[in-house]
């Protein structure tokens, strides 16, 4: 949490106890209201058991929206599941966290895995799924060990397995380690990967709610989304809703990185102005520097400029400003940053990570990467400039999955706000900022 006293007063949800030593151990988590929501819902100590519908209703009232990027209302996603038919249905936690500039799920996984596990059991109960998976990206071997140990503890305590807390509800949970592929964060590619295939996005419909893992009804939710569920059940959906904005309940973890004094994860209410995050939480620019542009929602989001810093960080206002809240990975650039270089670095990423399934994404990102590289190294031509103005618009909305849109988000906004920088690179045959290139 920010040093020097935060001016914004609110009740943290996800990071309430995050700096408690050994919070990842079950007993420590339990000493901080851990598994109280599960005990309340599934009945234990005398209190009335909640029905699955009652748990779902709290989540609906809470206005919880997906934290994986799209902001889809969580209860509505669960309600898309068809009525139980006696066969298996699955809950998959998306712990792929590969969006450049996003590092919030990692902190939950390594410091408070039980909060996620409790959230998954409650979510499983609400949607009558009896098997859960946590899909971790391959690079998360370290957090995986923490989560695996927590899952073992939860089994030992009877929170996982058969007849949980005497409720008759069964839920099994295990982790799964990916093997390096950004596209596997996309939920249908993730399901293919979990089935043991290459991670290609699937054609929709059918949606995973109808035909997901092994062709069975499946819900995929982000780590942070699921980690909010225990507090919603414990304190009530109305309480959670009241923390946020009219359309987005709760708080949000903002991952702030790049050219900023105090990078880190900061929990703030939904709708907090970007300026508060940048100055109150992250301590403003690096000494002697000035902010130039900020990506509000991970590498896939368009940039915002300082005149837009009073925008509330919520899904709709950021979308209306031509960007997206996305994963809330806030990447900060300052007056030492060359925008052409930043665009080149990002395009390299998307060109490498394009799964190759559809042409506009596979070819388009390669063309843009090559044009940007030429411009950035002083070998760019007017044709390259023209390509930057025309091609992104042809990729946008024309690819099989969201990766194509993600690839052009930053470039299109950089072209809009910083076009003279691109032109100057071509005219002068070098980077006009002449800075350290960062």
Partner 1 sequence: MISEARRQKAMEIIRGFPQKSSAVIPLLHLWQDEEGYLSDDAIAEVAEIMGMPPAEVQEVVSFYSMFHRRPLGRYHIEVCRSLSCALMGGRDILDHLRRRLGVGLNEPTPDGLFSVGAVECLARCDLAPVGQVNLEYTDRLTPEGVDRLLADLRARAEGGGAGA
Interacting residues toward partner 1 by CB under 8 A: 88, 97-103, 105-106, 131, 137-142, 174, 176-182, 193-199, 214, 255-259, 263-265, 295, 299, 329, 331-333, 337, 342, 345-346, 348-349, 352-353, 438
Helices first, then strands: H and E counts in the chain: 17, 8
For residue 142, the minimal CB distance to ligand FMN (Å) is 17
Determine the Cα–Cα distance for residues 27 and 44; give it in Å rounded to an integer. 17
Which of 125/422 has CB closer to ligand FMN?
125
Residues 380 and 374 sit within 8 Å (Cβ to Cβ): yes
- The encoded tokens of residue 27 equal 């007993």
Which of 245/265 has CB closer to partner 1?
265
- Does residue 187 interact with ligand FMN by CB under 6 A? yes
- Does residue 106 interact with ligand FMN by CB under 6 A? no
- Does residue 63 interact with ligand FMN by CB under 6 A? no
The residues with which 253 forms a beta bridge, in sequence order, are 267
The residues with which 312 forms a beta bridge, in sequence order, are 273
Determine the Cα–Cα distance for residues 212 and 90; give it in Å rounded to an integer. 8
- Does residue 99 interact with ligand FMN by CB under 6 A? yes
Bridge-based pairing state of the strands 172-177 and 218-222: unpaired
- Does residue 402 interact with ligand FMN by CB under 6 A? yes
- Does residue 220 interact with ligand FMN by CB under 6 A? yes
Residues 267 and 252 sit within 8 Å (Cβ to Cβ): yes
- Does residue 403 interact with ligand FMN by CB under 6 A? yes
- Does residue 97 interact with ligand FMN by CB under 6 A? yes
Which of 58, 96, 153, 384 is in the footprint of ligand FMN by CB under 6 A?
Answer: 96
The one of ligand FMN, partner 1, none whose footprint includes residue 309, by CB under 5 to 8 A per kind, is none
Residues 388 and 372 sit within 8 Å (Cβ to Cβ): yes
- Does residue 91 interact with ligand FMN by CB under 6 A? no
3-state secondary structure string across 282-314: CCCCCCCCCEEEEECCCCCCCCECHHHCCCECC
Which of 37/253 has CB closer to partner 1?
253
For residue 233, the minimal CB distance to ligand FMN (Å) is 17
């Amino acid at each position: 949490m920010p040093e020097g006293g935060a001016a914004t007063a609110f009740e943290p949800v996800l990071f309430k106890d995050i700096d408690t030593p050994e919070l990842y151990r079950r007993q420590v988590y339990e000493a901080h209201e851990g598994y109280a929501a599960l005990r309340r819902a599934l009945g234990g100590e005398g209190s009335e058991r909640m029905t699955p519908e009652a748990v779902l209703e709290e989540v609906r009232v809470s206005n919880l929206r997906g934290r994986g990027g799209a902001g889809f209302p969580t209860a509505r996603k669960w309600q898309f599941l068809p009525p139980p038919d006696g066969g298996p249905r699955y809950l998959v936690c998306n712990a792929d966290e590969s969006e450049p500039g996003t590092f919030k799920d990692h902190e939950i996984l390594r410091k408070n895995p039980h909060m996620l596990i409790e959230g998954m059991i409650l979510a499983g109960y609400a949607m009558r799924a009896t098997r859960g998976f946590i899909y971790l990206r391959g690079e998360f071997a370290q957090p995986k060990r923490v989560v695996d140990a927590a899952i073992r503890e939860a089994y030992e305590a009877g929170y996982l397995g058969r007849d949980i807390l005497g409720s008759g509800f069964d839920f099994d949970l295990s982790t799964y380690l990916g093997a390096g592929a950004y596209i596997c964060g996309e939920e249908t590619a993730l399901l293919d990967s979990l089935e043991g295939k290459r991670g290609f996005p699937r054609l929709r419909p059918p949606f995973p709610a109808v035909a997901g893992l092994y062709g069975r009804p499946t819900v995929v939710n982000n780590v942070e989304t699921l980690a909010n569920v225990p507090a919603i059940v414990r304190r009530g959906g109305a309480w959670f809703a009241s923390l946020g904005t009219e359309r987005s309940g709760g708080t949000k973890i903002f991952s702030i990185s790049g050219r900023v004094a105090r990078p880190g994860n900061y929990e703030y209410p939904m709708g907090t102005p970007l300026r508060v995050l940048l100055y109150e939480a992250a301590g403003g620019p690096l000494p002697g520097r000035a902010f130039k542009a900020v990506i509000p929602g991970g590498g896939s989001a368009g940039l915002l400029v300082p005149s837009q810093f009073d925008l509330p960080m919520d899904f709709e206002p950021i979308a209306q400003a031509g960007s997206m809240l996305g994963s809330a990975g806030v990447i900060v650039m300052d007056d030492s940053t060359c925008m052409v270089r930043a665009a080149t670095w990002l395009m390299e990423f998307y060109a490498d990570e394009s799964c190759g399934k559809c042409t506009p994404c596979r070819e388009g990102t390669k063309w843009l990467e090559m044009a940007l590289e030429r411009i950035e190294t002083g070998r760019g031509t007017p044709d390259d400039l023209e390509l930057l103005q025309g091609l992104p618009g042809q990729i946008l909305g024309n690819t099989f999955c969201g990766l194509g849109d993600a690839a052009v988000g930053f470039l299109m906004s950089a072209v809009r706000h910083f076009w003279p920088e691109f032109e100057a690179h071509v005219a002068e045959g070098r980077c006009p900022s002449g800075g350290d290139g960062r």
